[in-house]
A and B are shown apart, each in its own frame.
Chain A
Amino acid sequence: MRPLAAESGTHRPALPRVLVQARLWLWSNLFGSVGNTVLTLAAVAALAAIVPPVFTWTLSNAVWGAQPAAACAGIDGACWAFLHEKHRLILFGRYPFDEQWRPLAATALLIALLAASAIPQLWRRWLSAAWISGLLAGGALMWGGVFGLAAVPTKLWGGLPLTLMLSVVGIALAFPFALVLALGRRSTLPMFRAAAVAYIELIRGVPLISLLFMASFMLPLFLPGGVTVNELLRAQVAIALFTAAYLAEVIRGGLQGVPRGQYEAAQALGLGYWRAMAFVVLPQALRLVIPAMVNTFIGTFKDTSLVAIVSLTDLLLATRQAIADPLWRPYFLEGYVVIALIYFGFCFSMSRYSVFLERKLRTR
């Protein structure tokens, strides 16, 4: 086996250029050495073993559309009829069935805002105005009680909108708090430093589940009688406080990566502490830790599934409730596969976006 060179056409019928290139590519990428050939063949064998059954299960043997559960009995394929039956429950939880266009619209609005904020050309002042009005509109849609919309208490909220809200609002609240904690931990004033260290170590040293438990079951014990805090709000705050502790450490890492001379130059220009931080140090520090921050965000997004422990019907718990129906119980795999794809879709988008952002902000 020898790679075809251009002159090979002299003693063989000339191959079309595309084929020559294809053979060169195969040679250099797949069959260049004995080791590579073995690996290539092993990979082909593995794919041959995995792909056809997956294909048969998901597509050719699957049961589609509006079918009763009985139609899926005994088949050797996916029962997508389960999703046809239960997708509203999975996506929106126990939100009143006839009103489910409202969480759908609110989710679409939130995703649209996130997508718009991801485009650097749109980083203008009106974007914050769009966020404020978007959040108000989303809140009005979810809560109701205005514009002739029926009021829907938060304990009926659930599914994807709940998961998205807990993570987006959690991250948005955590971020400014994390900045304060990170700066506090590097402060020269012992009191601020001690407070920041104590907070970060305390919160990081405790599992999120226990924070959620405390927020749900212990907090009411300390509040005066008659005062109640909405359970969704309690979970939301617990998530934000938890995320802030992790994010603070990530940001502190970034602060340590900015040379001391940067701060000194800002000081020498008379910028003072806050402006030096805001314009000189933090922009560089945050840029350094984009991958680690996105890592934290992805963690927070997935951790929201823990709110099931305090009876909030997030995407995962809603799916489990759908599976709990005795008629459809055998088809749990279909449910989990689909929400896994939903989680993956969001996490993978965040991950790709972080790569894009890093490249975009890299200083020349």
Chain B
Amino acid sequence: MARRDAMPRPDAEATDRPMIEMIDVHKWFGEFHVLRGISLSVGRGERIVVCGPSGSGKSTLIRCINRLEEHQRGRIVVDGIELSDDLKHVEAVRREVGMVFQQFNLFPHLTVLQNLTLAPIWVRRMPRAEAEAAAMTYLERVRIPEQAHKYPGQLSGGQQQRVAIARSLCMSPKVMLFDEPTSALDPEMIKEVLDVMVSLAVEGMTMVCVTHEMGFARTVADRMVFMDMGEIVEEAPPVEFFARPRSERAQLFLSQILEH
């Protein structure tokens, strides 16, 4: 089966291998060197919170993991599949990696249920009835099954973001990426989204979150990654990171966001 050889398959035995491995990754936007030699390894079931001042490259970093951005140097390997120009590899990675965006990015012309079943039906080739049943299960998990037949525009921001999380889960991803999932929400809706994320973490999902929610980071993260100017400045367990940040830049950042 030549096709199978061409398509790198994650072998189930290699559970000791990291889920995501980034080795000396560089990226430029034109002249602007946005990622400067990022090396990061995320183990299976590990929860990483990436923080840092705006413009530090955190969003770009996680967008490289499912190749919404291309890196220009270094290697990124997700679940044993290396991201390269080969579209087959890219699509294989995207099938295994879920992503939640700051702006939700639900499809406004489709109902909530259709948003959830689109990819399972067309990418996973799941029969419609099965996809709908699975979608309802996930909607119950994010506690909005009653909204299944509404359109995204009829939901509140918090509800939309929970639908977006459910939509990603419907593809049974091995990793979830969160790109500032609560930054566009009104304060009273942040908790309902964070609750869903915490429950995912509790169930053992591998997660990489870019967020400013330090309370969430403290509860959930196995490791904090602090970025500044396109580099990873500090990596530490949250207790250590919040209590004794080693770098000056992390100290400054923490003092700024924890002040109020």
A264 contacts B68, C-beta separation under 8 Å: yes
B99 contacts A363, C-beta separation under 8 Å: no
Q: Which one of A262, A264, A272 has the highest number of Cβ atoms from chain B below 10 Å of its Cβ? A: A264
A-B contact count (CB 8 A): 68
B242 interface hit (Cβ, 8 Å):
no
A269 contacts B123, C-beta separation under 8 Å: yes
B109 contacts A363, C-beta separation under 8 Å: yes
A364 contacts B94, C-beta separation under 8 Å: no
> Apart from A268-B101, A270-B94, what are 14 other A-B pairs with CB-CB below 8 Å?
A261-B105, A265-B105, A266-B107, A268-B98, A269-B171, A270-B95, A270-B119, A271-B118, A271-B123, A283-B109, A284-B107, A284-B109, A363-B109, A364-B154
* CB neighbours of A262 from chain B (8 A): 105, 107
Distance A275 CA – B121 CA, assembled complex (angstroms): 11
B107 contacts A280, C-beta separation under 8 Å: yes
* CB neighbours of A283 from chain B (8 A): 109
For residue B93, which residue of chain A has the nearest CB? A270
A284 contacts B108, C-beta separation under 8 Å: yes
Give the shortest distance, in Å, between B141 (CB) and chain A (any CB): 18
B24 interface hit (Cβ, 8 Å):
no
Secondary structure class of chain B's binding surface, majority of residues:
mixed
A279 interface hit (Cβ, 8 Å):
yes
A267 interface hit (Cβ, 8 Å):
yes
Give the shortest distance, in Å, between B8 (CB) and chain A (any CB): 15
Q: 1/0 per residue B62-100: CB within 8 Å of A?
A: 000010100000000000000000010001001101110
A287 interface hit (Cβ, 8 Å):
yes
Distance A271 CA – B167 CA, assembled complex (angstroms): 13
Tell me which of B66, B105, B122, B164 contacts A279 (CB under 8 A). B122
Distance A364 CA – B94 CA, assembled complex (angstroms): 30
Secondary structure class of chain A's binding surface, majority of residues:
helix
Give the shortest distance, in Å, between B111 (CB) and chain A (any CB): 10
Q: Which 8 A-B pairs have the closest CB atoms?
A: A265-B105, A269-B119, A268-B99, A261-B105, A270-B94, A270-B95, A270-B123, A363-B108
A-facing residues in B146-172 (Cβ within 8 Å): 151, 153-154, 164, 167-168, 171
Give the shortest distance, in Å, between B107 (CB) and chain A (any CB): 5
* CB neighbours of B39 from chain A (8 A): none
Distance A361 CA – B68 CA, assembled complex (angstroms): 30
* CB neighbours of A287 from chain B (8 A): 109
Given A279-B118, A279-B122, verify A272-B107 contact (CB < 8 Å): no
* CB neighbours of B119 from chain A (8 A): 269-271
* CB neighbours of A267 from chain B (8 A): 66, 68, 94
Q: 1/0 per residue A156-171: CB within 8 Å of B?
A: 0000000000000000
A268 contacts B109, C-beta separation under 8 Å: no
Distance A176 CA – B99 CA, assembled complex (angstroms): 32
For residue A363, which residue of chain B has the nearest CB? B108
B94 contacts A269, C-beta separation under 8 Å: yes
Distance A185 CA – B253 CA, assembled complex (angstroms): 44
For residue A261, which residue of chain B has the nearest CB? B105
* CB neighbours of A265 from chain B (8 A): 99, 101, 105-107, 164
15 A-B contacts, Cβ less than 8 Å apart?
A259-B103, A265-B101, A265-B107, A267-B68, A268-B68, A268-B94, A269-B118, A270-B94, A270-B171, A271-B119, A272-B87, A272-B91, A284-B107, A363-B109, A363-B151
Give the shortest distance, in Å, between A258 (CB) and chain B (any CB): 10
Q: 1/0 per residue A267-295: CB within 8 Å of B?
A: 11111100100011001100100000000
Given A261-B105, A264-B68, A279-B118, verify A363-B94 contact (CB < 8 Å): no
* CB neighbours of A284 from chain B (8 A): 107-109
* CB neighbours of A280 from chain B (8 A): 107, 118
* CB neighbours of A272 from chain B (8 A): 87, 91, 123
* CB neighbours of A364 from chain B (8 A): 151, 153-154
Give the shortest distance, in Å, between A9 (CB) and chain B (any CB): 47
* CB neighbours of B123 from chain A (8 A): 269-272, 275
* CB neighbours of B151 from chain A (8 A): 363-364
* CB neighbours of A270 from chain B (8 A): 91, 94-95, 119, 123, 171
For residue B177, which residue of chain A has the nearest CB? A268
